[in-house]
Amino acid sequence: MKKSLIALAALATVSGASMAQVTLAGVMDLGVRYTSAVGSSVSKVSLNDGDAARLIFSANEDLGGGMRALANAQLRFDPTTGFNQGAGARPLFQGETRVGLSGGFGTVMLGRGISALQVPNGGNADPWGVTTIAGSVYASGFATDYGAGGEGRIDRGIFYTSPNISGLTLSASTSPFKVTGSTVAGATGASKTHYSVAAVYSAGPLVIGLGTEQNRGADTLTQVFGNYDAGVAKIFFSTARINGGTTAEQANAGTVSVSGKVAADGTINNHTIGATIPMGALSYRVGYSTWNGTGASTQKNDSKLGLGLRYDLSKRTYVYSDLAQTSRKNNTGSVTATGNTANTKNNQFDLGIRHAF
C-alpha cells in the first residue's frame, strides 16, 4: 500500500492551483536459502532476498487537459548488508530513474528503466514473477546492457507505452547511446543501438504478449508469453529465442553457474510452463523451464523444476517456501575449467517473508 509522503500545493495566479504528489513505496524480502552446488569456500546456507529489496519514489502532477507529469526513482539494495545490489557494484538507483508525461497519446518517459519487452514479461510468464530461487523464466534476464545492473534495463533510454486499445497495449524503448571498446564484453569499436518493442493483449482470463529486442552487443531476443486464468489454476507459458551478435556476448544462463554467453552467431532457446493454484490464503506454484544453446564449447543446456508455497498473512505480507532443481548438460562442448561439468545438478531451498509498503 502506497503511503503519501508529501503533498505540495503551489498557488498560481487567478488561473487556479496546481497539485503535485510524491509517494514512497517499497519491498523488503528476506529468507534463509540452501544451495547444494557452491564453491569449496562458500557456505551452502545463506541469508538472501527472494525479491529485490527496493524503495520507490514516485511523483505525479495533474497538468490539466488530461495530461500528467510523472517522475520515478527506484533505489535497489541488499537488505542483508545495506549495500547496493550486486555487492555494491550496481547503480544506487538500479531499478529506475525516469521522468515524462502521460495523456491521451500514452506515456513517454526518459532516463533509465526496464526495456519495453521486459516490463510485461516476468509477471505474465512466470508463476513467481521471476523472484525467489524457483523463478522459471531465464529469458527475462537477457542482458540489455553491459556492466553491473544491465539485466533487463537500459540507460539513457526513451520509453513509450500506448493507451489500452480494446485490450491491446503497445510499448517501445530505444537508446541512442553507444559504448566503445572493452566496455562491451568481447566487442571492439562502437556498440549497437538498443531497441525493444512489445505488444500485450489482455481480455478476461487471457493475457498474451510478444516482442523482440536488441542489446548493445547486437544480441537479439524474440519472445512469446502469456497466461490463462482457469479459476482453479492460472497457467503460464513462455517461448524465447536469443540470437548471438558478431561477438560472444552476455545472456542469463541459469542458476548452476552465473557465467554464460550466447555464442557469436549462435542461438539459445528457452521454453517454460508453469501454474499457480490458489486455495484461499495459501497458493501453490509449479514451473518447468529448459535452456538449450548452440555454437560454443561453453554453451549450457539446462532444465529447471520449481515448486513453491505462498501463504498470505495480509494484502501486503506473505511467507513463502520453494524448492528448485537445475540440471545442466554441457552437450555442445568440453568441460570447462570454471566447473561447468558435463552433468551437474544444483538443488536449492528457501524460506522467507516479503512485505510491501
Say how far apart CA 115 and CA 196 lie, in whole Å.
6
What confidence score (pLDDT) does residue 172 get? 98
Say how far apart CA 6 and CA 279 lie, in whole Å.
39
- CA-wise closest residue to 221 among 237, 205, 208, 210: 210
Confidence of residue 300 (pLDDT cuts 50, 70, 90): low
Site of grid cell 542482458: 143
Q: Which three cell numbers stand for residue 215?
A: 542489446
What confidence score (pLDDT) does residue 332 get? 44
Q: Give 122's DSSP letter.
A: H
Q: Which strand (E) or helix (H) includes residue 125? A: helix 118-125
Q: Which amino acid type is present at position 251?
A: A
Does pLDDT of 52 surpass 90?
no
Site of grid cell 552433468: 343
- CA-wise closest residue to 18 among 89, 68, 53, 79: 68
**pTM flag (> 0.75):** yes
Q: Which strand (E) or helix (H) includes residue 121? A: helix 118-125
Site of grid cell 532443481: 325
Confidence of residue 118 (pLDDT cuts 50, 70, 90): confident
Instruction: Compute the Cα dihedral for 173, 174, 179, 184 and give only its sign.
Output: positive
Say how far apart CA 239 and CA 221 lie, in whole Å.
11
Say how far apart CA 238 and CA 125 lie, in whole Å.
6
Structural domain count of the chain = 1
Say how far apart CA 160 and CA 181 lie, in whole Å.
30
Does pLDDT of 115 surpass 80?
yes
- Once rounded to an integer, what is the mean pLDDT over residues 93-118? 94
CATH code where residue 258 lies: 2.40.160.10
Query: Is 96:114 a contact under the CB 8 Å cutoff?
Result: yes
Q: Which three cell numbers stand for residue 220?
A: 537479439
CA-to-CA dists, residue 355 to 23, 74, 308, 318, 352, angstroms: 17, 17, 18, 7, 10
- CA-wise closest residue to 153 among 131, 122, 129: 122
Say how far apart CA 297 and CA 163 lie, in whole Å.
46
What confidence score (pLDDT) does residue 33 get? 95
What is the chain's alpha carbon radius of gyration, rounded to the nearest angstrom? 21
What confidence score (pLDDT) does residue 85 get? 80
Three-state DSSP at 346 gives: strand
Domain limits for position 67: 3-356
Q: What is the pLDDT of residues 144-180, one digit of tens each?
A: 665 555 678 888 899 999 999 999 999 999 998 877 6
